[in-house]
Structure 1
Amino acid sequence: MNWRVVCMALCIICLLVPYVPVGTAYAEQDDYERVNVPAKSLISAHNTLPGSTPQMAADGNPATAWNAGRNSGVISFVFNQDIKMNGIEIAATSSPTSTFSYLIYGLNGNRWEEIGHASRTVEYREDGKATVLERIPVLEGTYGGVLISMDSSNTASVSINELYLTQGTEPTFDNATVSQLSGGAFLTWEHEGFANQTVIYYGTQPGVYTEKVIAPWRGYLGTRVYNLVNDKKYYFKIAANVQGKIYYSKELSVVPKSSKIAKTLPEGTRGGVWPYYSDLNLTPNDAFDGDIYTSWYYTNPNYPPNDDGSLALYFFRNPTYIESVQIITQYSPVALDRSGVREDEYTITSGWDWNTGDIPIGQLKTTVRDPGGDGIVYLETIPVKPGYYHEFEIHVKTTGRYVSVNEVIINGKDPNASVTGNVYGNEANKVTQDVYAANRPMTKN
């Protein structure tokens, strides 16, 4: 590793806005083994107080320290060998008492990648001895180095008396699922206790996670990860912070795919949903985009008891003649519901009556079973009251945790459709030409 890589990383990170950590998480110290920074590691810092060298942060002596001489700083440790690790511990002093934020990067090849963050309070001690702070977990992996960006909550200088790495078995949970989408993936999970924060790490190589998504507070019911490349395999690991201890899922993998069918809804159709949950990425227009692996989906936050959601489709141009509706859904395994079967009820309405409310025009009650594979299920066709509609709504009830409408197909032969095109179009031209012998060979009289 050359100095140019290290110096460029230090300069770039120092320009970042000070980081405020959310949902600090750490695991029990007894679960892990502490190891020293490898000897002969290349250690450098962006700022250093005279007489306090960066090498003092890993010299095996907690009485010596690297000190930035200011209330923010960056220090990097480039190892002379790759190290498998899942956390760090820092011994530090502070005057006065201060809370420090730590943003940790791991060196993956020639690239620094964020692997963890936390805040820790360092109490002032009159004897000047260093305090070993609570362990900071990082994304478990094999790294060629560690870079730490630090900020103080007051005027106290940032410093490290000694840096330790940790190894060991991480707490895990088994109940997690992933399903394919078009350009994305759908993940669910279940673990003991309420998670203060859950992070989904993912990448295109097993055990190497270069991207992350912070799940919404209700994300365990179903979180979608978008902007993935179809037909490319992705690997996921879920990290849940439960009362200050991080639990990890097993590694999950999926290949996003796309599959197109003919669209039957008129151009200009727009979708709406009810109820609207701002913490979920609801996508009503995906229910009629012609791709069976995109969908509007509904999670059941009040399960049990049963709850329902509604998908509205608006035809903003001319009214559309409809005789029946067919729905394509996807049975996605959900961590909180492994029964393999759900009971769905789809009620189609159009218009409003002040006395009775929504006016029903069709209904389907059906049992949806997990078909395996991609989970795509074509439901039975739903007959509706034949007529012209400016809009209709699909009201969904399910006994499961999750239901999706991947595609809406409408059918109907408009009784008033004009046949003028068949009479006066190209066929009419051919008839006219034939009548007047336009295409016949000339003959002698």
Structure 2
Amino acid sequence: MLLPSVTHAATKTVEGMLGFSPPDGTTVKSSRNYTTDFNAEKAIDGNIQTPWNAGTYKGNIELNFPTAIEFNFVHITTNASPPRAVSYTIYGLKEGKWVQISESITHTLKAANTTPPPIKVKQGAYSGIKIDGDGGSSWLAITEITLGTFETIDLTGQPQNASANLNWNTIKEATNYKINYGTQSNKYSDSISVEKDSEGNYVIPNLTNGTTYYFQVVAIFNGVETVVSNEVAVTPNEAKTTEPTTPDNPSTGEPSKPSEPGTTNPGEPSTGEPTNPQSPSGNRAILVVTMTSGLEKEFDLSIKEVNDFISWYESKQAGSGSASYAINKHDNNKGPFSSRKDYMLYDRILTFEVSEYSK
């Protein structure tokens, strides 16, 4: 999750935190120390159990690097007892002057030692950082500081029939992702958690054709939302089908009129009866169900079984019926079982195809 501009300057990581510790040779000082056991050096010693404590509610800590480092986030593990809301503002040292590089960020702590999300700062090369902190009703204390540069998530989306296909690049250190989506830009009403290896061809099912949906992907590191993608808009649409064109009437796509009695096409005997271009419906069918994961499942069923499946699906689509449907595998049964059934989950079905035949 780090660019080379940071990795060449620092290589030490801290468990549970993003980025790297400041490089060797970094000097640190603070506005005040509670005691020598809680001095400013504790904030960069690589141990989240040893805090710097200001001994007062407000204070600051200042880090000066041996050489300038480029980064766009600062990650802070905070200590407060009892847990409270803590605020930070970060400044960068550039050409000998301190410039504000972050907004004032407030973190609500959940425990005495908490690692909130990293704080985004204005990307640049800085010779040092200064963190102004306000511990609220607890003394200001910081256990560890790291910094780094986020990668970006490039999200793309393609419309499908009642669904959207999403693709994005891998974020190396992400433990999983969250997909936010809704029908208003930057206002998401639904979210889905997906595994870290699901970034390619992820399908969001059960959407309404003709409605525009807005999507955003968030990379998560150990439960902390870190990198947010661009937003993409996708409008699902029903696949258009084209009528077959016949040799007799290629311009309209309409089937040709049957021959009049007594006339024939070359090489075809005349029966005096119109030609029926369609084969009769069979009494069985191959049902192919495509799941949202891309997996295809094929079943050889009677027409009644296929119609029962379609009735269940349409009823569920209308808001009634069970969440799953059992399909009997019949002759595909393997092993010493009296029967085998495949339970199909409605919200995992992307499309299905029916191919009739006679037996």
TM-score, normalization by structure 1: 0.31
TM-score, normalization by structure 2: 0.38
Select the structure that is richer in strand.
1
